[in-house]
Amino acid sequence: MVDMHCHLDLYEDPFAIAKETVARGVGILSVTTTPKAWAGTKKLEQGLENSIYTALGLHPQLAAQRFDELGLFDAILPTTPFVGEIGLDGGKGFKNSMDIQLKVFRHILSNVHSSGGRVMSIHSRYATEQVLDELKGIDGAPILHWFTGSKRQLRRAIDLGCWFSVGPNMISSKGGAELVRYIPLNRILLETDGPFCKIDGEILMPWDCKKTIDGMIDLLGKSKPDISQLVSDNFTHLKKLVV
């Protein structure tokens, strides 16, 4: 199985974490927050190429400061099937940069579309509706990471072909768990959002994406091995769409 949204480069000793994660039988979609972080983060794949995948990103919370890195983004895009973290953030402190966030997001989506689509890990905090508006008609496989929209928006996202990466915190919240019940089984993936995400004050490690499975057993009415198989098969299927 694969942690589909992890900021591997932001852990204290990312090389060691990468190795330990793979030794525990878990892969990582290693998302980046700026194009400048790409080269260094890509190096963390070394020797672990079939388990660690690096995604090219420009985080919406950094769009205002880093939009001048879009040229670098465009230059790297042809070399990778994975894009993220990208998206929009309409939360406090970020909604006043929405114009520039939209410019950045549209630029990226239009390049992704014209170059045949990508697997994309997408942030949509307090901006679900706008993110879905922008994804309409874009080629590729969008994954909504830590989806927090309404049930109606979830249905809209499913119709648009979105996938969903679910973390331990989403599954342990009442609202999050309720949404997970409505995600089609063939669109569910795991994530941690580490090292930003914590449980009981402890930073989540990439292999903690397995904790999501424990929360899914009752919710989906499936056994632990069946869910592990399901999310692994989903990743294999997703990868085939773009690689």
Residues of this chain that bind Mn ion (CB under 5 A): 193
Min separation Cβ 233 and Mn ion, Å: 24
Query: Alpha-carbon distance 177 to 155, whole Å?
Result: 15
Min separation Cβ 193 and Mn ion, Å: 5
Angle 49-31-205 from CA coordinates, rounded to 5°? 80
Min separation Cβ 208 and Mn ion, Å: 14
Q: Which is nearer to Mn ion, 5 or 187 (CB)?
A: 5
Q: Which is nearer to Mn ion, 17 or 230 (CB)?
A: 17
Q: Which is nearer to Mn ion, 198 or 224 (CB)?
A: 198
For residue 55, the surrounding DSSP H or E stretch is strand 52-55
What is the token pair recorded at 142?
């969008």
Contact 85, 32 (CB under 8 A): yes
Contact 130, 155 (CB under 8 A): no
Q: Which is nearer to Mn ion, 62 or 213 (CB)?
A: 62
Q: Which is nearer to Mn ion, 89 or 193 (CB)?
A: 193
Min separation Cβ 145 and Mn ion, Å: 6
Query: Alpha-carbon distance 138 to 162, whole Å?
Result: 11
Min separation Cβ 85 and Mn ion, Å: 5
